[in-house]
Amino acid sequence: MNISPLVASTLVVLLPFIAFLIQAIAGRRSTSGIFSIISIVLSTLISAVFVFPVIWNQEIQYSNYEWFTIGEHRFAVGILLNNLSVLMQLIVCLIALPVHIYSKSYMKGDSGIHRYWMYLSLFCFAMLGLTISKSLLMMYIFWELVGFASYLLIGFWFTKDAAVQANKKAFLMNRIGDLGFLIGLAILFTTFGTLDYCRSVW
């Protein structure tokens, strides 16, 4: 099969998001985690076969789409595929896959299992999007989504005081980190006039 690595990498990211949407719609009617597991299995296979070997030590590939304009500055979204991004994407898949398999048994019988699969798929979507973001703006958006999904997972057992306290601590620490991230973005944008990793021809 001749699949563009850009298309394949997009599928790797979107499959967990599709699983998240299906699980959110199905709710308590789906507790097996089958959608989440199938999505991460497919993401891992696609990343390992159609993305990583095609990009590794080869020419960098990227897509670029203008998002919005402020004054003379144009902000874009897109995908950047180089050695680091495809390696991290594959690593996220390879770590997430056994987590899903282990969770199938560990979480069996939990009354909120349907929420767990939903949160886990959202977390994987955010992490995978983070790895191939073409700009610091996209990276920040996915970083915030990772933080939100982490918040949901940490506080999953919200009836337990330990989980509630851990959730509060994670929330506060993330906000501190986010503030530093925003300050860094502002400094970089003021200095270089762009948040893209690589400049594109508009």
**Three-state SS sequence of 106-123:** HCCCCCCHHHHHHHHHHH
For residues 60 and 121, what is the distance between their CA atoms, to the nearest angstrom?
28
- DSSP symbol at 30: -
Cβ contacts of 128 within 8 Å, gap of 6 or more: 12, 13, 16, 43, 89, 92, 93
Q: Is 158 helix (H, G, I), strand (E, B) or coil?
A: coil
Q: 166 and 155 in contact (C-beta within 8 Å)? A: yes
Q: Is 65 helix (H, G, I), strand (E, B) or coil?
A: strand
**pLDDT given at position 98:** 95
pLDDT in tens, 70-111: 777 778 888 999 999 999 999 999 999 999 999 988 888 888
Mean pLDDT of 33-59: 95
Q: 146 and 134 in contact (C-beta within 8 Å)? A: no
Question: Is the model's pLDDT at 63 over the cut of 90?
Answer: no
**pLDDT given at position 28:** 84
38 exposure class (CB count in 10 Å sphere: 0-12, 13-18, 19+): middle
- For residue 2, name the pLDDT band (cuts at 50, 70, 90): confident
| Range 120-142 burial, b when 16+ CB lie within 10 A, else e | bbbbbbbbbbbbbbbbbbbbbbb
pLDDT in tens, 116-172: 999 999 999 999 999 999 989 899 999 999 988 988 888 887 777 887 788 788 888
pLDDT in tens, 158-175: 777 887 788 788 888 888
- For residue 202, name the pLDDT band (cuts at 50, 70, 90): very low
**pLDDT given at position 90:** 97
- For residue 200, name the pLDDT band (cuts at 50, 70, 90): very low
pTM of the model: 0.89
Question: Is the model's pLDDT at 197 over the cut of 80?
Answer: no
Cα Dmax for the chain: 56
* Mean pLDDT over each residue of the chain, to the nearest integer: 89
Question: Is the model's pLDDT at 1 over the cut of 70?
Answer: no
Q: Which of 20-29, 53-62, 188-197 has the lowest mean pLDDT?
A: 188-197
Cβ contacts of 46 within 8 Å, gap of 6 or more: 8, 11, 12, 15
Mean pLDDT of 40-67: 92
For residues 131 and 49, what is the distance between their CA atoms, to the nearest angstrom?
17
Question: Is the model's pLDDT at 201 over the cut of 90?
Answer: no
